[in-house]
Structure 1
């Protein structure tokens, strides 16, 4: 920004309040707009840089755990487990009602649920980052549109003023001609 006077003048013009009263996002957008700098940023890149190994692993687990591949593979595993134990009869390692299988399913659910919730929480954070970026981009676009309207209004007023001056010159010339002819 060129100086604080410009910041205040632009703030009053586009936000209707002093620069000091703007919130941080509005101030940042106003300063970048005045400096003709872009406001957009790649939120995916910014967010990906903050992910730890555990975060990336949780995202992969959640991605696989919520896929048809997982559901199909797990369905096949359950069918094989039950079929094998039923076929072995009395020598089965987990006879009907498959108590060990139920224990493994409960353990899997107990581990998988918080991992999926961690991934969903991170996705919510990313969505908030995207929303904040969208707000800034929209605010900058709105400011740019207002500035364009001001320029168009100024241009129209200048052209209208020039037209009025030209018409006044023509009226003055006609008045002078009529006055000279009437003598």
Structure 2
């Protein structure tokens, strides 16, 4: 028996391996409509290669995003690009966070120390020692007697400086949270699109197997007819 190992695509007219052969009957109608938009003569009775079909699947996904979401943002464009190149998205998003500057490092450390029990205990002990030193040890004739005007000034300056530093650290944390949210969105979107493509491939596989089973049944029927013909003779 002479079995062909290649076939010619009805879309590009190029030669492909027979394993890449996909019948137009197995293609979903929205994707088939996209193919027919570029190749009006293509019908469900024609054949296309799986690589060409994947290009139209990606085109269908891009069109779907444009219709459902609007203009493609940079995030959606990156997701489509990662699908085409089969790359991971996590490292891309993590790289965008960047390296911390010296000011950001200082702000993070000040915020971490200012929001800890160490700071509360340290400053509580400092205030108690300040009061004791000026009232009892120096008999209220120290460098800052009651009502402790210098201490109030120090506390006010500390609060005035600490607040913007903590806000800088919080802004940086918010930026990191936004980056994580972008990463989660991109991963979820890519997962949804990959599931759609997986369904397409499963449908193609099922239809292909059904066609093979039908061909096998036809061969078996022909063999049975031959046997019956021989018996009748």
Q: Give the structure-2-normalised TM-score.
A: 0.64
| Deviation for aligned residue 1:143 | 2.0
What corresponds to 2:42 in structure 1?
A: none
Report the secondary structure of 2:145's partner residue: coil
Listed one character per residue, the Cα deviations across residues 53-97 of structure 1 (whole Å, up to 9, x for unaligned) are 222211111111111111111111111111222212232222222
Matches within 5 A, 1:7-156: 9-13=57-61, 16=64, 21-41=71-91, 43=93, 46-49=96-99, 51-87=100-136, 88-156=138-206
Residues 42 and 64 of structure 1: is their aligned pair in 2 closer, same or farther, counting only changes over 3 Å? Answer: farther
Report the secondary structure of 2:106's partner residue: helix
**How many pairs were matched up?**
178
Distance in 2 of aligned mates of 1:48 and 1:75: 37
Distance in 1 of aligned mates of 2:57 and 2:203: 18
Contact 1:94 1:100 in 2 (8 A): yes
Listed one character per residue, the Cα deviations across residues 124-179 of structure 1 (whole Å, up to 9, x for unaligned) are 11211221122222222222222222212211121222223434555566677778
Contact 1:64 1:70 in 2 (8 A): yes
Report the secondary structure of 2:209's partner residue: helix
Residues 102 and 44 of structure 1: is their aligned pair in 2 closer, same or farther, counting only changes over 3 Å? Answer: farther
Moved over 3 A (4+): 5-9, 17-21, 42-46, 164-183
| Structure 2, gaps ≥5 residues long | 1-52
Report the secondary structure of 1:120's partner residue: helix
What corresponds to 2:21 in structure 1?
A: none
- Greater share of helix residues, 1 or 2? 1
CA-based RMSD of the aligned residues comes to: 3.0
- Greater share of strand residues, 1 or 2? 2
| Deviation for aligned residue 1:24 | 2.4
Q: Give the structure-1-normalised TM-score.
A: 0.78
